[in-house]
Every structure is written in structure tokens, then in C-alpha cells.
Structure 1
Amino acid sequence: MSLFERYLTVWVGLCIVVGVALGHLMPAVFHAIGAVEIAQVNLPVAVLIWLMIVPMLLRIDFAALGEVGRHWRGIGVTLFVNWAVKPFSMALLGWVFIGWLFRPLLPAGEIDSYIAGLIILAAAPCTAMVFVWSNLTKGEPHFTLSQVALNDAIMVVAFAPIVALLLGLSAITVPWGTLVLSVGLYIVIPVIAAQALRRGLLARGGQAALDAVLARLGPLSLGALLATLVLLFGFQGEAIIAQPLVIALLAVPILIQVYFNAGLAYVLNRMAGEAHCVAGPSALIGASNFFELAVAAAIALFGFSSGAALATVVGVLIEVPVMLSVVWIVNRSKDWYEAGAPARRAEGARSRP
């Protein structure tokens, strides 16, 4: 691990501070960058996400995707957490914290809107950033890609009904443009580009050429992650300084939800006997959120300046630092995970030729 990677959390902290400061000092610049979007998808952020995930996708050999079926337990656990636990646990946490405990500290007219935003945030599992988190935990890349693709397919039919059920609305306006464009930008295009580049490198110079390119792209990927963090916090620099208490209170149920769902997926995978390289990305996919879709849905339903939109933005702000903390926990607990008898059997089976 390089010095840069070893102190990644330090650089993340600095980027948060820099982003908030620049967003407050130069709001016009960040407003201009934020306005470069299509269907609520910010294009500069999309480019940075490409730089983050293409090196991870380069490692994937599509010929080996058929083997992902042996990780059916991990797939089942992730689907259970994403669709049967996560939206409902967030609804409960929103009602407990925002609707009850923190109610006296928040604007009375926005309570229901805040809760709605939290529910919308939890109803869509992350699409792109999980490739970064999976890579940082040395996760099984074929499992990660297959799980993300499966979640995207389910999201098309399940997102609106789940949100409608939990919000008690008869009809939900799904921002289909955002959903389709996000999947295209963050999954389809990067996968095609990465596989074309992979085949070209292997054809010209074999595995050595591919390894050399991956070594050069590694720092670029982490640099793009930090640049994304500066942009995200810069976009909301004014709001953070103007409403620090509201943002801090909204972050509490989001934080609890992330750690609860990540921990649940991690433990269930251990009990099921999945290998650590599957349990790590499973926990991270189970905990993270598709914030582009969440923000767009909240704006479409409640308006740009609503409490719901602000709640989803808080999810955006804490996504990177919180998920990095989950990555740290997954990596540090590997010995404990593999000490379990089912996990030992899974790791042993994976290591045998």
C-alpha cells in the first residue's frame, strides 16, 4: 500500500474542508459547475466517476462472470438487505430521530419532508461508487459487477412501489431520465470502454501491458475520488455553513442506517459461509445509496428547496467518508471473519485450484 493510500482518510478530511471552504468563498464557480447536468446528473461528477471505476472494471474478465453463481449466498444476502431491510429500517430511523427525538430542534413544517427524503435515499442501492469500495476491500470484482447489474434491474420495477408504500402516496413520479442516464453513464459506457481497452492491451502486450496500465491508473482513480469529494462538498458549501445543525441531525439516522445494514450484510454472509472477498462488497453494496437518483426523485416530488431534497443531499455529503470507514472496518476484521468455520471452508475452497 502506497503512502497516499495509507493516509487516504487524512486526504478525505482535507478535501471536505477545502470543498466547504471553496463552496462558501466561490459559490458562483460551483453553481456553474453544478449547472452542467442532464436529467439531474452532473456531467463533471460523471467524468470523475468514470476515472474512478474504469480501472476497477479493467480487472474484470467477462469470461469468468459465469462463475459468480457460486456466490449465490452473497447475492441473496445483498438483495435481502437492499430491498427487504434498508428502506424500511430507514423509515423507522427517520420516524424515531427526525419525527420524535430531534423534532424540537428542526423546522416544524419540514419534518415530514425530511423523513421522505431519507426514505427516498435508502430506497435505491448504489450503482457506481461501490466499484471503488469493493476494490479497496479486495472484493471479488465479478460478484460486484453482477450484483450491481441485478440491483439496477430490480430498481426499475421496485423503486417506485417501495417509496410509494413508505410515503403513503398513491403515485410516485420516478425520474426515469435520471435513472436511465445514470445506469448508462455509470455502468454501460464504463463497462464497454473498459472491456475494449482490456482486450486491446491484452492483444498488444499481454498481461504485462494490462498490469502496467493498471499500476498507472491506480493513483488517478484515487485522485478522482478526492476531486469528487471536493466538488460534492463545494456544491453544498453554503448550505452546510447556513444550516449546520439541521445537516448534523439529518446525518444521524443516515449514519446508523449505513452501519446497521453494512454490519447485517457482513454478519449474514459470515453465517452463510461466503468468502470475505464477497462479504466485503456485499456489505458495502447493502449500505450505500444511489444518491443521484435519490436527489432527482426528491426534487421531482417535493421541489428543489424542500427538506426532502436537503435530506438526500446530506446522504451525498457523508457517502464517501462513511463508506471509507466501512471499508476500514471490513479490512481490519478479516481475521475475525475468516475464523468462523463456514468462512474458513469458503476461503479454503476458493484457494484450491
Structure 2
Amino acid sequence: MREAKPVRAQLSLVDRFLPVWIFVAMGSGIALGQVVPAIGPALDAVKVGEVSLPIAIGLFWMMYPVLAKVRYGKLGEVVAKGRLFGASLFFNWVLGPVLMFGLAWLLLPDLPHYRTGIILIGLARCIAMVLIWNMLAKGSDEIAAVLVALNSVFQILFLSVLGWFFLSVAPGWLGAEQTAFHVSMGTIATSVFLFLGLPLIAGATTRGVLVRWKGEDWYENRFLAKVGPTALLGLLYTIVLMFAMQGDKIVRLPLDVVRIAIPLGIYFVVMFGAAFSISKWLGFSYEETAALSFTAAGNNFELTIAVAIGIFGIGSGEALAGVVGPLIEVPALLALVHLSLWLQRRLFSEGASGGVEQRSVDRGVEKACP
């Protein structure tokens, strides 16, 4: 029996050193903000909704190749997976907010502004960058896309209600001060449309038109081979700009950053571990388990920052908590990508992870993406 390659050897050169590129991007962004202090206000001068236009461009650039990869013809099969969607709703809209609320009060009892920002992060479920992590972990693109769409709908419908409950009602049960909270459905809908709707429309249109014109094989092995790797460039571009705009706060308040980082780090590990363990126990395949676990662990920091600035102001502690979020999430979820690939080898057989036939279909797509 041929000995399987270790996880690191399975990754491409780009993927193998992805942590290096991401930390370089984060450091470059902070350094750029320090050297050119005016860059933050300049980048934030033009906005789409509540988001800087350069950031919005980066998010589209990051998302489009991933959503162009999704096999939309399989979405009907995905929607039929009732247990999986039930599990996703539980992780994202029950366990996630409750866990973050508990960690915020447990670890930040003396810092109400940061505590509120942390709670907001727990309420804003991921609709963008999670597709990158799922792709790198070789989870199901189709399932991740549907779960992200489900999160988008729930954010539009319930974020205001959950924000009111966890900030204005639940603290009263602890005998603590309550926080007024109101955010319009329009703000949330705009965020969802920018970060998911536009790249989703572009990706689906591209696949539909090019597959009809050039065929499935050409699209999977030629077009995606050129377009897929640009998702990583979009990710690094977005990280550089994000930290250039907000990095001064991170440099000025290092101890505060550490206090905010502790509950976030615990949250990512616990959410991923719980989702992965329960998904495996429920008998889901590896591709399903990875997609469910990363969508459960990720959060929508763009929306958190927009809401925090809109309600509490750009210089608020709530906004700083939102800014620190990606600083912790990016390396944490990148580490979880490697853990997920390692667990695939240890816990899932060929059959459990989709079968030989499906893996052969996916292999051409994997070559196309970072």
C-alpha cells in the first residue's frame, strides 16, 4: 500500500507559504498606515454603502474566482440536505451568538465597549472570506455557497432582532447595563449584496456563458486555471488595505488588542471543533463537514465594522473590536485549514469524502485554485 503524502506536501507552493504571504500583507498594511497616515482617510473617502470603495473592490476580486468555481447545477442536490441545513442554522444562529456573548462577558467584564464589539462579531455570520478558507480546505464549494446564502438571508431578517436581544435584553438578566441597538435592514442588505450578491451574479453568469460557449472541460481546466489563483491576490490586497486603514489603532493599543484577541481566538477554535466533531458524528462526508465547519467558525467583519461605526462612531471601542477581528481570524482560520486537511487524512475514508469518481472530477478544479 502506497504511503500517503503528508498534508504539507499535498499543498501547492503558494498554499504552503500562505501564512507567510498573509502575515506580510498584514505587516505591510500596518507599516503603510504608519508611513502614510493620510492613506486611511483617503481610502475611506469614497464609499459604497458603508464600506470603502477600494475595500469593496478587493472583496469582489477575492470572491469572484471562488464563486465562478461553484457548480451551480448541483445546488438542487445540496438544498435537499435537510439535516445539514438544520445543523448550520444551529451553529450559526444559536451556538455562535450565545458562545460569543458568554466569552465577551466572561473575559471582558470591565471593558463594555470592546465587549459590545465582540458580541456584534458573534452576530454577523460570515458571507465572504469563508469561501476562501473552505476552498483551501477542499470543502464542498456548492454547500459552502448555499450555506453562505442562507446566512445572508438570516442576517437581513434577524440581525437587528438578535442585536436588540443580546445587547438590550440579555445583559439585564445579568444585572448589567443595557445597550441601545438599532441597525436598519437596508444597511445589512447592502452589505450582503456587495460582498455576496455581485460576485455571485458575476460568477454564475461567467460559468453559464463560457460553459455553453467553450464546454465544461475548457472552463474547468483552462479558464479556472488562469482566474482561480487571482482569489489569493484579492485576499492579500484586501488585507493590506484593511490594515493600512485601521492599523494605527492596533499599534497604539497593543494591550487592548490582546484583550480583544483572547475571546476571539477561543471562539474560532471552539466553533470549528464543535462543528467538525458533530458533523463527523452525524455521518457527513469530509466535504460537507469542512464546509459546515468553516461557515460556522467565520464571521462577517466588514458588516461588524460598518454597523459599529454607524451606531457608535469610527473612534469607538466597538469599532476597534471589529478591526481586531480579521487580525485574529485570518491566521486562526488559516491554521484551521491545515488542521482540517490533517483530519481529513485521519478520520475520513475515500468513500466518506465523496468517492473516487467525485474526487477525479474535483481534481481538475483544485488545480485551478490557490
Partner of 1:205: 214
One-letter amino acid of the structure 2 residue matched with residue 97 of structure 1: L
The two structures, once aligned, show a CA RMSD in angstroms of 2.2
Partner of 1:232: 242
Partner of 1:270: 280
Q: Matches of residues 67-82 of structure 1 in structure 2 within 5 Å? A: 67-82=77-92
Q: Matches of residues 233-248 of structure 1 in structure 2 within 5 Å? A: 233-248=243-258
Q: What is the alpha-carbon distance in structure 2 between the residues aligned to residue 346 and residue 223 of structure 1?
A: 29
Q: What is the alpha-carbon distance in structure 2 between the residues aligned to residue 157 and residue 237 of structure 1?
A: 32
Shift of 1:170: 8.1
Q: What is the alpha-carbon distance in structure 1 between the residues aligned to residue 237 and residue 51 of structure 2?
A: 17
Q: What is the alpha-carbon distance in structure 1 between the residues aligned to residue 54 and residue 347 of structure 2?
A: 38
With over 3 angstroms needed to count, the CA separation of the structure-2 counterparts of 1:170 and 1:29, relative to structure 1, is closer
Q: Is the partner of 2:229 in helix, strand or coil?
A: helix
Partner of 1:2: 12
- What whole-Å deviation, never above 9, does each CA across 1:311-345 have from its counterpart, x for those lacking one? 11111332322221121111111123316xxx965
Shift of 1:172: 2.8
Shift of 1:96: 1.3
Contact 1:86-1:122 at 8 Å conserved across structures: yes
Q: Is the partner of 1:260 in helix, strand or coil?
A: helix
Deviates more, 1:169-178 or 1:271-280: 169-178
Q: What is the alpha-carbon distance in structure 2 between the residues aligned to residue 225 and residue 312 of structure 1?
A: 18
Q: Is the partner of 2:183 in helix, strand or coil?
A: coil
Partner of 1:292: 302
Using structure 2 for the length normalisation, give the TM-score: 0.86
Q: What is the alpha-carbon distance in structure 1 between the residues aligned to residue 267 and residue 141 of structure 2?
A: 25
Q: Is the partner of 1:89 in helix, strand or coil?
A: helix
With over 3 angstroms needed to count, the CA separation of the structure-2 counterparts of 1:346 and 1:209, relative to structure 1, is closer
Q: Which runs of 5+ in 1 are unaligned?
A: 104-110
Greater helix share, 1 or 2?
1
Contact 1:39-1:177 at 8 Å conserved across structures: no
Contact 2:65-2:230 at 8 Å conserved across structures: no
Contact 2:68-2:207 at 8 Å conserved across structures: yes
1:23 and 2:28 correspond: no
Q: What is the alpha-carbon distance in structure 2 between the residues aligned to residue 157 and residue 198 of structure 1?
A: 30
Contact 2:250-2:257 at 8 Å conserved across structures: yes
Q: What is the alpha-carbon distance in structure 2 between the residues aligned to residue 188 and residue 302 of structure 1?
A: 27
Partner of 2:121: 121
Q: What is the alpha-carbon distance in structure 1 between the residues aligned to residue 308 and residue 43 of structure 2?
A: 21
Selected match of 2:202 from 190, 193, 196: 193
Contact 2:250-2:324 at 8 Å conserved across structures: no
Q: What is the alpha-carbon distance in structure 2 between the residues aligned to residue 346 and residue 16 of structure 1?
A: 34
With over 3 angstroms needed to count, the CA separation of the structure-2 counterparts of 1:98 and 1:184, relative to structure 1, is same
Q: Is the partner of 2:81 in helix, strand or coil?
A: helix
Partner of 2:112: 112
One-letter amino acid of the structure 1 residue matched with residue 117 of structure 2: G
Using structure 1 for the length normalisation, give the TM-score: 0.90
Selected match of 1:55 from 22, 46, 65: 65
Q: What is the alpha-carbon distance in structure 1 between the residues aligned to residue 23 and residue 188 of structure 2?
A: 30
- What whole-Å deviation, never above 9, does each CA across 1:65-85 have from its counterpart, x for those lacking one? 110035333322221111111
- What whole-Å deviation, never above 9, does each CA across 1:147-205 have from its counterpart, x for those lacking one? 11111111122212222122125863114343122211222221221122112222222
- What whole-Å deviation, never above 9, does each CA across 1:278-329 have from its counterpart, x for those lacking one? 1112111111111122112222332222211111111133232222112111
Contact 1:175-1:300 at 8 Å conserved across structures: no
Q: What is the alpha-carbon distance in structure 1 between the residues aligned to residue 280 and residue 125 of structure 2?
A: 21
One-letter amino acid of the structure 1 residue matched with residue 122 of structure 2: A
One-letter amino acid of the structure 2 residue matched with residue 186 of structure 1: F
Contact 2:157-2:185 at 8 Å conserved across structures: no
Contact 2:140-2:287 at 8 Å conserved across structures: yes
Shift of 1:351: 5.5
1:260 and 2:260 correspond: no
1:179 and 2:188 correspond: yes
Identity in percent:
34
